[in-house]
Amino acid sequence: GTINVLEAARANNIKKVIFASSSAVYGDHAAAPQKESEPQNPSNPYGLSKLMGEKYCNMYSENYGFDAVSLRPFNVYGPRQSISRGGVVANFMACAVKGTSPEIFGSGEILRDFTYVQDVVDAFEFAMQKSGKANRLSINIGTGKNHSLIEVLKMVEKISGKSLAPVSKGRIVGDAHQTLADISLAKKVLGWEPMYSLEKGLEKTYAWYKGHFQ
């Protein structure tokens, strides 16, 4: 899929490609906070595919002369996220609305840098507007703060007014113990920084799920 997009960009003289990469490129044992300059060692096929996508983008940029920027969003959540394919926040929200028990994989103490979807959209817009400055860079998009799954669950309980009894499941193989973005490069090169705290983002997310899954 990525190569098809790059081929289309080359054939149609597109000036810039923004690639949606992922924090999964860092893998399970990366030091926190994760910096773009650190080695990437993805621990699952998804992370490896994203890392290869970055390399394809840089290769095409160098060979064919168009700009390519790779953004690495950290744990994106927000309205309209699929419950079946979405992440932990989507699961918590659906359970809060329906009054069911959410599943937590592992101990619940794994740490995630949860990033609200509107902040991620803004980052892509900023990247489109920066001419040449970010070319062939990979840039973290996160909040620079992380929270455990238990913390997030408690926030959802507070926002929804519901008491949620989680069901513990085994840890997912290849799942990182913690994610935490160093976002200094995004601030410097893109002029971007997140606008939503986790609590504010969860409030907006819950309002959407409540209106669509009653």
Residue type, 11: A
Pair of tokens at residue 96: 């809060």
Beta bridge partners of 76: 115
Pair of tokens at residue 66: 């168009």
Q: Which of 30, 28, 47 is nearest to 39 (CA)?
A: 30
- Tell me whether strands 67-73 and 138-141 are parallel, antiparallel or unpaired: parallel
- Tell me whether strands 111-112 and 67-73 are parallel, antiparallel or unpaired: unpaired
Any catalytic annotation for residue 196?
no
**3-state helix/strand/coil string of 141-206:** ECCCCCEEHHHHHHHHHHHHCCCCCCEEECCCCCCCCECCECCHHHHHHHCCCCCCCHHHHHHHHH
CA angle 208, 210, 214 (to 5 degrees): 135
Beta bridge partners of 73: 141
Catalytic residue among 26, 46, 56, 116: 46
Q: How far apart are CA 98 and CA 185, in angstroms?
A: 40
DSSP state for residue 26 in the 8-state scheme: G
Active site residues: 46
